Amino acid sequence: MGDRVHFVGPGRMGLGLGYALWQADAVASLAYFGRRPDPPAHPLFTQSLAEYSFGLEGIHLHPTILILSVPDDALAGVAELVAAQGPAPERCAAFHLSGALSTEVLAPLHARGYAVGSLHPLQTVANAITGADRLPGSYFSVAGEPGAVAAARRLLGALGSPTITVPERARPVYHAAAVMASSYLATLLAAAGRLMVQAGVPDDEALPALLPLARGTLSALEESELGRAITGPLVRGDVETIGLHMRSLEPRERALYAALGMELAELIEGTGFGNDALSEIRTLMENQG
């Protein structure tokens, strides 16, 4: 028999995670509690796969897992409101989905008898329907009291998702890493797309032309050690090409190109795949051409 999971907040991540759990047949029941009278348009509700309630009445009735899937700045207030609904059901674990915050924000629920923990997916869920397909197999960061950690691993086991443990004091650094691998990756591709447009590629073709290249790089990182997965002029020690790039870019793009190049130079040298031209390339980038 699966868990009875209650979500507070039918946002993209909460809906995506619930849908993934339902698709994996990992739950006995799903219920969502929101601040709007009607549920969002999502298969969980249009196909009667999950219940929806306006407000928090009944939130404490028989769940085995409670997940606060609300923005970080709302967590403390929502935890207080849920705690005011009554004591925790027997052996119920409560989680937040924040990557940066500790379990301290759930102190009101702990005081009511919930085993509290954090459950953060290392995955992008930009769409509450299709994003559910990306969660199975993705890593989750799990922390909290033993009962909560056990409940999280039970739930994630059904998704085939590995777990990692991050000390609470290091969670901001962990979350910064996640942001760099997701939001900043998208930002970098947007900048590359801008350069493609500057080079004469139509705007509606710039990003589609780059995405297969980006996917190929990610696949190479999965298949090979870091030093062998990275290609390009810096790895080859091609000073002339890098200098041509730097002279051709506008100041905004040149500064970004140089900053990333300096980081790459440190990276490949640390992997043992450096070359004799790295010192000259660093000088070139420090002077930005």
Distance of alpha carbon 90 from alpha carbon 87, whole angstroms = 9
Q: What is the per-residue pLDDT across 22-66, written as a single tens digit (0 to 9) for each?
A: 999 999 999 999 999 999 999 999 999 999 999 999 898 889 999
What architecture does CATH give domain 3-168? Answer: 3-Layer(aba) Sandwich (3.40)
Q: What is the per-residue pLDDT across 183-219, written as a single tens digit (0 to 9) for each?
A: 999 999 999 999 999 999 999 999 999 999 999 999 9
Q: What is the per-residue pLDDT across 67-108, written as a single tens digit (0 to 9) for each?
A: 999 999 999 999 999 999 999 999 999 999 999 999 999 999
Question: In the prediction, which pLDDT does 50 show?
Answer: 97
What architecture does CATH give domain 181-286? Answer: Orthogonal Bundle (1.10)
Question: In the prediction, which pLDDT does 1 show?
Answer: 59
Domain ranges, ordered by start, for the chain: 3-168, 181-286
Which pTM does this prediction carry?
A: 0.90
